[in-house]
Amino acid sequence: MTGRTTPHHVRPDGPEDPDPYADPYADPARRAARWRPAAKVAAVVLPVCLIGWLGWQAVANSSRDVTSNASAPRTPSYAEGDRVDGSDADGGSPAASAAGPGAAAAPSAAPSPSAGASAAAAPGGGPKPLAGRTVLLDPGHNTGNAEHTAEIGRKVDIGNSRKECDTTGTSTNAGYPEAEFTLDVVHRARQILQDRGATVVLTQDGDRPWGPCIDERARLGNDAKADAAVSVHADGAPSSGTGFHVIMPARVVAGPADTSAIVEPSHRLGVLLRDAFKAGTGEPYSSYIGQQGLDTRSDLGGLNLSKVPKVFIECGNMRNSGDAQRMADPQWRQSAAQALADALTSYLTG
């Protein structure tokens, strides 16, 4: 056939049929209707997926936090090795247990010795962390005591007994007196504490011929209403012994003595001083008395009669050649004074 063929979608007798090859969704209304079911499904599925993803993230983060916390080091609630020995190596001093129940305070938390010191002001300006605080420093003995044996030999009441007013103290084998050592360390510590804003009271400043007696030393701290007090000493033990120790008050309630209120704060001060002194000077704990550098005694008038938190420190054994060499070194004495001031700062600002 050579003639024109009629398209199959054109009816000879009527209008055109729909084009089978045309886009059935070219019409906007039909196109919108086509996607409406898919949009409904997406409206339901997408939020569910989003919620699931967020939940997975929360679980993953929680797992990481738990793992991190489990591996983090824990800070102990008390000082490492914090034990109090109630015995005296020479057998001459009553043990803390002899003072009765409650003689030894329970271990207490020991902040890092440098915690308070880090806030200390540099000389000449800056914050004064110890402003308004009063500290009593008691340099043990007196270089003039040897010339006043009658005066220092009289007995005074320390509550649970009577003891000599004071003693001459010890010295190194080379003749360096304990009284000179203690006064030098106290002078150095006083300067640091004053730079930090503290009012510092001394029991003696090399300005009296002898003494004071042990009961007066305690009274001076009480009258000053000191926030803390430290008595600085050096020991005269057998030469084989080495190291330092801090002496804390036992509970004594007898006559004019009542240490009930100061046992716990004195223990806290003692632990801080023990830690600061070892870190600052390198001096080992005593090898011949106490445990871990701590001792508790009930026979020291300066502690028994104190109404303010107070400790003694025996900075080393002057009869030991190594300790004596260190204590004769001005630079080491400066380190000792710094440790003393840092411990007091930590105690008073903690």
Active site residue 264: no
More confident residue, 153 or 93: 153
Domain count, the chain: 2
Cα 167 to Cα 91, 131, 170, 239, distances in angstroms: 19, 35, 9, 20
Task: Clarify whether residues 329 and 268 are in a common domain.
Answer: yes
CA dihedral 150, 296, 202, 335 (to 10 degrees): 120
Residue 262 has pLDDT above 60, yes or no: yes
Residue 82 inside a domain? The answer is no
344 closest CA partner among 295, 266, 272: 272
Locate 232 and state its tokens: 């600085």
pLDDT at site 212: 98
Locate 64 and state its tokens: 């990481």
Catalytic residue among 178, 216, 283, 314: 314
Locate 336 and state its tokens: 């000792």
Task: Clarify whether residues 62 and 113 are in a common domain.
Answer: no
pLDDT in tens, 103-157: 333 333 333 343 344 444 455 667 899 999 999 999 999 999 999 999 999 999 9
Task: Clarify whether residues 24 and 110 are in a common domain.
Answer: no
The domain that contains 282 carries what CATH number? 3.40.630.40
Residue 87 inside a domain? The answer is no
Q: Hey, CA dihedral for 26, 28, 30, 31, is it positive or negative?
A: positive
- How sure is the predictor about 17, in pLDDT bands with cuts at 50, 70 and 90? very low
Residue 83 inside a domain? The answer is no
**Residue % of the chain over a pLDDT of 90:** 64
Segment 236-258 shows an average pLDDT of 98
Task: Clarify whether residues 53 and 129 are in a common domain.
Answer: no
More confident residue, 79 or 279: 279
Whether 253 and 260 have beta carbons less than 8 Å apart is answered as: yes
pLDDT in tens, 154-171: 999 999 999 999 999 999
- How sure is the predictor about 33, in pLDDT bands with cuts at 50, 70 and 90? low
Provide the domain limits for residue 329: 96-349
Residue 175 inside a domain? The answer is yes
Residue 3 inside a domain? The answer is no
- How sure is the predictor about 28, in pLDDT bands with cuts at 50, 70 and 90? low
Helices and strands, counts by H and E, the chain: 9, 10
Task: Clarify whether residues 63 and 136 are in a common domain.
Answer: no
Residue 229 inside a domain? The answer is yes
More confident residue, 181 or 24: 181
Residue 16 inside a domain? The answer is yes
- DSSP for 244-304, please give it: BEEEEE---EETTEE-TTTHHHHHHHHHHHHHHHHHHH-PPBPSSSSBTTEEEES--HHHH
